[in-house]
């Protein structure tokens, strides 16, 4: 029986790799229905980077499996996954994608330089980088299969496994933990706090073990950072976690006593790009007035006034524009009716609002590249959804300009969606008369983590204490 199979490959970014893989499949007589390539790790210092290929192939399953095994013999292919199982390329021993992207041995740290390890766990990956001052000397994304993580259960139970993966990768890169001066971890869902670099203490660790904080892998960032730092006798920090709360008191009230606005937003990246633009404009961040829109799976738009984010939408709780995965603000009465319809459980409604709403709900995908392809193929509804999302972001930016009383030095667009010229162009068209618009595509959260730590290590600011 002929059917379509999805195959995932990790390949080295060598010249001609795409043609070699596709040609090999076609020579077997199978039809490639779809092929997508995303760079996972860029090449550095003459070494090839690593890319992830997704291929939908039409053929019979048994024969296709044989073809996949033969593709592993190509020296550019590191691993293949099919039907939830991953096969590594045999080459004397198995070589995983994360090992193949390990950087060359890092030279010894120079005198007077601070070396900082930054850790950012995600749902199926653990990113880490090593910086000598502001220079990244090693970076890696350690990918974990769903099956691998499922054997550990909840996020907190993955702590030892992920920590050991980082330490093993450091060893492969010849980076001695003893050369580190500090460790920075991505902060999780802690209590509301002011912006800054916080020394990880016992109070923070205890709060990270709470039921609320433990729901996301980002919780592991601070915990792993502390466990690596403690035996080395060096400090561990979190910087500008998602719960930074500097809101003006006027922004707190909702109109319903007993429910007050709380904040969860992309504080780390928003403040990092705001500081970067302030430096380019030749003024301290503490003297600037910016509106910053982080455009990703979640979208948050913040009003930055003199170094403080005085208002910002909480995308996790349903505020602001709809996003690739979230509904944003919904008319309250129809939402209440659906909640009490008996068709959905509480958890199912939470999923609809936070993970299965927005672009995902309308178009069946949260991948902007796929949506843009749909638009290019003539899908008018896909165009309407993307343009409506840009419209709602523009409206939120306008609201934050009002928060700043119309005195705005610049509007900043950042995050993964900022790579889309169509999307950012649609936003600019509506807001560029309010203030100059600057685009910083993507997010450099590792550098942002390290920069916050370096400000403390170099004496620029004191470490904050979590209590």
283-312 tens-digit pLDDT: 999 999 999 999 998 999 999 999 999 999
Q: Do residue 44 and residue 121 come from a single domain?
A: no
Under a CB-based contact definition with an 8 Å cutoff, are residues 24 and 74 in contact?
yes
- Among 338, 330, 392, residue whose Cα is nearest residue 357: 330
CATH number of domain containing 456 = 3.30.420.40
Inter-CA distances, 119 with 15, 131, 182, 237, Å: 32, 11, 11, 10
Q: Do residue 79 and residue 10 come from a single domain?
A: yes
Domain count, the chain: 3
In a domain, 110, yes or no: no
In a domain, 231, yes or no: yes
Under a CB-based contact definition with an 8 Å cutoff, are residues 88 and 96 in contact?
yes
DSSP structure string for 333-402:
HHHHHHHTSSSS-HHHHHHHHHTS-HHHHHHS---HHHHHHHHHTT-HHHHHHHHHHHHHHHHHHHHHHH
In a domain, 245, yes or no: no
pLDDT of 3 higher than 50? yes
**Facing residues of 121 across strands?**
126
Pairing of strands 93-95, 50-59: unpaired
Length of the chain, in residues:
467
Confidence at residue 394, expressed as pLDDT on a 0 to 100 scale: 98
**Which of 63, 95, 127 is the endpoint of a domain?**
95
In a domain, 399, yes or no: yes
Q: Do residue 283 and residue 403 come from a single domain?
A: yes
pLDDT of 33 higher than 60? yes
What is the rounded distance in angstroms from the CA atom of residue 412 to the CA atom of residue 86?
Answer: 41
**Would you give the distance in Å from CA 382 to the centre of its chain?**
24
Across residues 169-194, what is the average pLDDT?
91
CATH number of domain containing 54 = 3.30.70.260
In a domain, 404, yes or no: yes
Q: Do residue 229 and residue 307 come from a single domain?
A: no
Q: Do residue 59 and residue 87 come from a single domain?
A: yes
Across residues 393-400, what is the average pLDDT?
98
Q: Do residue 283 and residue 362 come from a single domain?
A: yes
pLDDT of 152 higher than 80? no
Confidence at residue 385, expressed as pLDDT on a 0 to 100 scale: 97
Confidence at residue 89, expressed as pLDDT on a 0 to 100 scale: 60
What is the rounded distance in angstroms from the CA atom of residue 47 to the CA atom of residue 309?
Answer: 41
Q: Do residue 282 and residue 419 come from a single domain?
A: yes
Q: Do residue 342 and residue 360 come from a single domain?
A: yes
Identity of the highest mean pLDDT range in 81-85, 86-90, 318-322: 318-322
Under a CB-based contact definition with an 8 Å cutoff, are residues 226 and 203 in contact?
no
Q: Do residue 277 and residue 384 come from a single domain?
A: yes
In a domain, 100, yes or no: no
Q: How many CA atoms lie within 13 A of 238 on its CB side?
A: 31
Torsion over CA: 402, 406, 409, 411 (sign): positive
Which tokens sit at 231?
A: 């035996």
Confidence at residue 100, expressed as pLDDT on a 0 to 100 scale: 44
pLDDT, tens only, 103-144: 556 778 899 999 999 998 877 778 899 999 999 998 888 877
Residue the block writes with tokens 């843009």? 372
Q: Do residue 396 and residue 413 come from a single domain?
A: yes
**Which of 62, 95, 128 is the endpoint of a domain?**
95
Confidence at residue 91, expressed as pLDDT on a 0 to 100 scale: 42
pLDDT of 423 higher than 80? yes
pLDDT, tens only, 340-350: 999 999 999 99
In a domain, 161, yes or no: yes
pLDDT higher at 156 or 426: 426
Q: pLDDT class for 10, splitting at 50, 70, 90?
A: confident
Q: Do residue 201 and residue 153 come from a single domain?
A: yes
Q: Do residue 310 and residue 420 come from a single domain?
A: yes
pLDDT higher at 267 or 34: 267
Under a CB-based contact definition with an 8 Å cutoff, are residues 57 and 33 in contact?
yes
**Which of 47, 67, 95 is the endpoint of a domain?**
95
- Among 452, 455, 447, residue whose Cα is nearest residue 134: 447
Q: pLDDT class for 92, splitting at 50, 70, 90?
A: very low
- Among 115, 174, 124, residue whose Cα is nearest residue 145: 124
8-22, 98-112, 151-165, 450-464: segment of lowest average pLDDT: 98-112
Confidence at residue 47, expressed as pLDDT on a 0 to 100 scale: 52
Q: pLDDT class for 146, splitting at 50, 70, 90?
A: low
Domain extent for 35? 3-95
In a domain, 261, yes or no: no
């Amino acid at each position: 029986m002929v059917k379509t199979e999805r195959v995932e490959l990790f390949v080295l970014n060598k010249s001609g790799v795409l043609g070699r893989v596709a040609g090999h499949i076609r020579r077997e007589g199978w039809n490639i229905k779809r092929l997508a390539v995303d760079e996972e790790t860029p090449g550095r210092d003459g070494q090839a980077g690593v890319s992830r290929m997704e291929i939908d192939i039409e053929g019979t399953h048994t024969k296709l499996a044989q073809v996949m095994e033969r593709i592993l013999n190509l020296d550019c292919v590191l691993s293949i996954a099919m039907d939830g199982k991953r096969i590594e390329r045999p080459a004397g021993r198995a070589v995983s994608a994360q090992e193949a992207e390990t950087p060359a041995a890092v030279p010894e740290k120079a005198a007077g330089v601070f070396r900082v390890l930054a850790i950012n766990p995600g749902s199926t990956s653990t990113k880490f980088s090593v910086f000598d001052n502001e220079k990244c000397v090693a970076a890696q994304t350690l990918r974990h299969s769903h099956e691998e993580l499922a054997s550990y259960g909840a996020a907190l139970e993955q702590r030892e496994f992920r920590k050991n993966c980082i330490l093993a990768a450091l060893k492969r890169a010849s980076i001695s933990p003893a050369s580190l001066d500090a460790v920075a971890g991505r902060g999780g869902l802690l209590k509301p706090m002011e912006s800054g670099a916080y020394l990880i203490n016992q109070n923070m660790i205890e709060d990270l073990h709470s039921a609320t904080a433990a729901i996301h892998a980002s919780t592991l960032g601070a915990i792993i950072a502390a466990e690596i730092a403690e035996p080395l006798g060096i400090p561990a920090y979190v910087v500008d976690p998602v719960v930074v709360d500097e809101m003006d008191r006027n922004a707190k009230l909702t109109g319903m006593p007993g429910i007050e606005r709380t904040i969860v937003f992309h504080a780390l990246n928003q403040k990092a790009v705001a500081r970067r633009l302030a430096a380019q404009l030749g003024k301290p961040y503490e003297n600037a007035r910016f509106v910053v829109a982080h455009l990703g799976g979640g979208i948050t738009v913040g009003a930055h006034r003199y170094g403080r984010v005085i208002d910002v939408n909480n995308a996790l709780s349903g505020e602001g524009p709809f996003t690739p995965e979230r509904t944003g603000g919904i008319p309250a009465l129809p939402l209440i009716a659906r909640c009490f319809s008996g068709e959905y459980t509480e958890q199912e409604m939470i999923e609809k609002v936070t993970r299965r709403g927005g672009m995902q709900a309308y178009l069946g995908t949260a991948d902007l590249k796929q949506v843009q392809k749909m638009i290019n193929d003539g899908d008018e509804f896909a165009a309407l959804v993307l343009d409506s999302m840009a419209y709602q972001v523009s409206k939120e930016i306008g609201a934050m300009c009002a928060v700043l009383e119309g005195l705005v030095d610049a509007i900043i667009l950042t995050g993964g969606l900022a790579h889309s010229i169509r999307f950012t162009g649609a936003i600019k068209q509506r807001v560029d008369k309010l203030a100059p618009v600057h685009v910083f595509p993507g997010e450099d959260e590792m550098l942002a983590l390290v920069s916050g730590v370096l400000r403390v290590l170099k004496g620029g600011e004191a470490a904050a204490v979590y209590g």
